[in-house]
A and B are shown apart, each in its own frame.
Chain A
Amino acid sequence: MSYKHVEHIDPYTPKSGAMVPLGVQKFLRTCLLWQAVRFAVINVRMTILILKSHH
């Protein structure tokens, strides 16, 4: 199993306190099907935000 995604995190550095995404999370970020769903969600979210912001 490869742990390449965490190889640059040195202990006791500021970066060692950060969350680092693992395989599934990284896959979903560029998975076209999942991202199509997220695209719809982001648009709905932004539309609601705009509607709430105009007075």
Chain B
Amino acid sequence: MARVVILGAGVAGHTAASFAKKWLGDEHDVVVVTPNSNWNWIPSNIWVGVGEMTKDEVVFPLAPVYEKVGIDYRQAKAVSIHPEGKEDSDTPFVTIEYTGQNRVGQTEELTYDYLINATGPKLNFDATPGLGNGNGQLGEHTVSVCTADHAIHASEELNKCIEKMKQGQKQVIVVGMGHGMCTCQGAAFEYIFNIEHKLKEQDVREKAELIFLTNESFLGDFGMGGMHIKMGGYAASSKIFAESLYAERDIEWVLGAHTTKVEEGKIHYKTLDGDTDEQEYDFAMLIPPFAGVGLKAYAKDGSDITDKLFAPNGFMKVDADYTPKPYEEWKASDWPKTLQNPDYKNIFAAGIAFAPPHTISKPMKAPDGTPITPTPPRTGMPSAMMGKAVTASICDMILTGATEPTHTACMSEMGAACVASAGKSLVNGTAAAMTVYPIVPDYEKYPGTGRDINGTTGEIGLAAHWVKHILHHVFIYKAKMLPGWTLIPE
């Protein structure tokens, strides 16, 4: 009997756990370690953040689902990985610390045969003074939509703003990036359009100045270096696509911005051209930068080998080419395929937890050397595909004795779909539906734009709202592992 331990129960971890249990059955143990008690369909947090959905509509408790299918669920956070075991045992293990199940604070050594690191990110609010509270949590000045609870708070603060507008006060609303190295521009993009839509519905749009503050060097970079979309007989830059959306909605934008400090009512930032500036605001939603969750790693003799397993940013090293090289020499083949750790073949990483070899967007710096570059997006669809692929490889290793991973999930060989709504109605409002293939451009395979122009598309319309609604219900159904869940693709 083998034991597969999965750290994290987000999109990657939960997908991995679901398939591991399905493919391994009761002959082997599948253990999930996550500090959270709920599963969250994060894309719909945007709708919670504008009061269009409740928390209960975007989360569900994990325990009953795991109990139903026989997955061993530990509500705990992983503290350290011991891939060589310890002095009196060669069996690898992780040290976990419980956050629930009436065992808060208790620690345990959990042995494993295979380990999947799918912890997701640490929301690194404290990387920007004033964005965090000094204890790693969201600070008091801004709001976030990264978690369902954050989104509820955001909705409450937005409603206060709307009330002031109804009383005739002008309000400045800033949405964007809380640091020069943030990712998830798409979430901020969707949130500001939902705010704009809500302000129109509430008949107060003319009372608000909307500003998008981003670390992208151009609108539509999305942390992927932008893309060319097949549109009207042209291969049009996503810059044109995105700028059109902002201009149509009368939303201002600030590009290449690194938020240096947040105070009550004021955001300080510097830009790629070296300017420093301030932006006053009444309501601000700023996405924090991501970092690894801070897992440590120890060798058999107890020595610290964290830098062997993890990159300096805390994300796990896998089969990527981490050789430092200039942007001009980057290749699609730099990106990991099997997501297997090169030193410990029974450890894999999936989703945000793996260390990318470099950004996808061209690295840029302010004149003083401050890096201002969007980091690679690897949430949602890519995360689920990675979770499934590494699980398939592990199951083949357990069930057929395969010595090497049998499945791949490479970001330069997979696509992604993104639906950014503007409102939630089925009959009004318009969403942007985008597809990109592959996520990481491959200029050798697709000379010119780096991507398959037939698979890289964008369009605006009500149909995308319907798609977003379907995705919401279908993926929550799938995550609950209800009958037929395997028929729903990642």
Q: Is the C-beta of B413 less than 8 angstroms from some C-beta in chain A? A: yes
Q: Is the pair A38, B461 in contact by a Cβ cutoff of 8 Å?
A: yes
Q: Which of A42, A45, A55 contacts B389 (CB 8 A)?
A: A55
A residues 1-55 with Cβ under 8 Å of B? 5, 8-9, 14-15, 17-21, 28-30, 32, 34-36, 38-39, 42-43, 45-50, 52-55
Q: Is the pair B413, A42 in contact by a Cβ cutoff of 8 Å?
A: no
Q: How far is the CA of A21 from the CA of B253 in the complex (A)?
A: 19
Nearest-CB residue, chain A, relative to B466: A39
Assuming the contacts A8-B250, A29-B462, A52-B455, asked whether A17 and B389 have C-beta atoms less than 8 A apart, the reply is: no
Q: Which of B409, B427, B433 is packed against the most chain A CB atoms within 10 Å?
A: B433
Q: Which residues of A contact B407 (CB under 8 A)?
A: 55
Nearest-CB residue, chain A, relative to B382: A53
Q: Is the C-beta of B120 less than 8 angstroms from some C-beta in chain A? A: no
Q: Is the pair B247, A46 in contact by a Cβ cutoff of 8 Å?
A: no
Q: Is the C-beta of B385 less than 8 angstroms from some C-beta in chain A? A: yes
Q: How far is the CA of A54 from the CA of B381 in the complex (A)?
A: 11
Q: Is the pair B463, A49 in contact by a Cβ cutoff of 8 Å?
A: no
Q: How far is the CA of A35 from the CA of B427 in the complex (A)?
A: 10
Q: Is the pair B247, A42 in contact by a Cβ cutoff of 8 Å?
A: no
Q: Is the pair B437, A39 in contact by a Cβ cutoff of 8 Å?
A: no
Assuming the contacts A28-B461, A45-B435, A46-B417, asked whether A54 and B246 have C-beta atoms less than 8 A apart, the reply is: no
Q: Is the pair A19, B415 in contact by a Cβ cutoff of 8 Å?
A: no
Q: Is the pair B433, A42 in contact by a Cβ cutoff of 8 Å?
A: yes
The SS class assigned to the B binding surface is: mixed
Classify chain B's interface size. Answer: 35 or more
Q: How far is the CA of A18 from the CA of B460 in the complex (A)?
A: 15
Q: Is the pair B459, A35 in contact by a Cβ cutoff of 8 Å?
A: no
Interface 0/1 of B265-292, CB less than 8 Å to A: 0000000000000000000000000000
Assuming the contacts A43-B467, A53-B413, A55-B407, asked whether A38 and B428 have C-beta atoms less than 8 A apart, the reply is: no
Q: Is the C-beta of B457 less than 8 angstroms from some C-beta in chain A? A: yes
The SS class assigned to the A binding surface is: helix
Q: Which residues of B contact A43 (CB under 8 A)?
A: 467
Interface 0/1 of B378-391, CB less than 8 Å to A: 00010001001100
Assuming the contacts A30-B430, A54-B385, asked whether A17 and B243 have C-beta atoms less than 8 A apart, the reply is: yes
Q: How far is the CA of A38 from the CA of B419 in the complex (A)?
A: 14
Q: Which residues of B contact A32 (CB under 8 A)?
A: 427, 462
Q: Which residues of B contact A29 (CB under 8 A)?
A: 430, 460-462
**Closest-CB distance, A22 to chain B (whole angstroms):** 11
Q: How far is the CA of A29 from the CA of B455 in the complex (A)?
A: 21
Nearest-CB residue, chain A, relative to B489: A50
Nearest-CB residue, chain B, relative to A55: B408
Assuming the contacts A46-B417, A53-B415, A55-B409, asked whether A35 and B244 have C-beta atoms less than 8 A apart, the reply is: no
Q: Which residues of A contact B253 (CB under 8 A)?
A: 14
Q: Is the pair A35, B385 in contact by a Cβ cutoff of 8 Å?
A: no
Q: How far is the CA of A5 from the CA of B427 in the complex (A)?
A: 21
Q: How far is the CA of A42 from the CA of B433 in the complex (A)?
A: 8
Q: Which of B252, B435, B463 contacts A38 (CB 8 A)?
A: B463
Q: Is the pair B244, A18 in contact by a Cβ cutoff of 8 Å?
A: yes
Q: Is the C-beta of B240 less than 8 angstroms from some C-beta in chain A? A: yes
Q: Which of B244, B416, B489 contacts A19 (CB 8 A)?
A: B244
Q: How far is the CA of A36 from the CA of B105 in the complex (A)?
A: 53
Assuming the contacts A29-B430, A32-B462, A55-B389, asked whether A18 and B246 have C-beta atoms less than 8 A apart, the reply is: yes
Query: A-contacting residues of B (Cβ < 8 Å)?
Result: 240, 243-244, 246-248, 250, 252-253, 381, 385, 388-389, 407-410, 413-417, 427-428, 430, 433, 435, 437, 455, 457, 459-464, 466-467, 489-490
Given contacts A20-B248, A54-B489, 16 further A-B contacts (CB under 8 A): A15-B246, A18-B240, A19-B247, A29-B462, A30-B427, A32-B462, A42-B463, A42-B464, A42-B467, A45-B457, A46-B467, A49-B416, A50-B381, A52-B437, A53-B414, A54-B414
The 4 A-B pairs with the shortest beta carbon distances in the complex, nearest first, are: A18-B247, A53-B414, A39-B463, A18-B243
